[in-house]
């Protein structure tokens, strides 16, 4: 049988006072890190701006940017266009194919090593 030290939790029943709250915040390891509110530009805003600027300039990548933006908007609203579906389906198929090829190679190599011997890897 082994002994273990048990430290009771440092807690209290009921709300903390404003003084306790200020003291806890000052003693925190992240004090001063999150006081300033920063409103960064979202991905949606960046994509919309990029699509808007390429449409105005008549850029070559207009169709792709519009597909990405419509896919983002469709994903948020729950409605996707057929074009964005094909892009998403194609990307998904590529990821799945790459993953299954990698797993298949590992299994094949493992089986061949166990049959014919060879250097064992950890």
The predicted pLDDT at position 72 comes to 64
Q: pLDDT tens-digit profile of 37-74?
A: 888 888 888 877 877 776 555 555 556 666 666 666 66
Q: Identify whether 62 is part of a domain.
A: yes
Residue 6 lies inside a defined structural domain of this protein:
no
Check residues 3 and 62 and name the one with the higher pLDDT: 3
What mean pLDDT comes out for the span 12-29? 89
How many alpha carbons lie under 13 Å from residue 33 in its C-beta half-sphere?
6
Inside any domain, residue 29: no
Do the domain assignments include residue 83? yes
| pLDDT attached to residue 121 | 58
96: containing domain:
43-116
Residue from 63, 98, 101 nearest 83 by CA: 63
Q: Residue 54: which residues within 8 A CB-CB, separation 6 or more?
A: 61, 62, 65
pLDDT in the model for residue 73: 64
- Between the alpha carbon of residue 101 and those of residues 53, 93, 97, 115, the distances in Å are 40, 12, 6, 21
Rg (CA), the chain: 28
> In total, how many domains does the chain have?
1
In the prediction, which pLDDT does 80 show? 52
Answer yes or no: is 51 within a domain: yes
Within a domain: 80: yes
In a domain, 102, yes or no: yes
User: What are 65-119's pLDDT values in tens digits?
Assistant: 666 666 666 665 555 555 555 777 777 778 888 888 888 888 888 888 888 876 6
In a domain, 92, yes or no: yes
Q: Which of 2-11, 16-25, 98-107 has the lowest mean pLDDT?
A: 2-11
């Amino acid at each position: 049988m082994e002994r273990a030290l048990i430290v009771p939790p440092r807690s209290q029943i009921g709300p903390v006072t404003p003084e306790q709250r200020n003291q806890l915040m000052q003693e925190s390891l992240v004090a001063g890190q999150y006081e300033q509110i920063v409103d960064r530009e979202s991905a949606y805003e960046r994509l919309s701006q990029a699509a808007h600027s390429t449409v105005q300039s008549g850029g070559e990548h207009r169709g792709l940017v519009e597909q990405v933006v419509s896919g983002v908007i469709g994903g948020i609203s729950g409605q996707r266009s057929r074009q964005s579906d094909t892009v998403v389906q194609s990307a998904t198929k590529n990821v799945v194919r790459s993953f299954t090829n990698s797993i298949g190679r590992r299994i094949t190599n493992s089986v061949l090593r166990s049959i014919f011997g060879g250097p064992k890897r950890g």
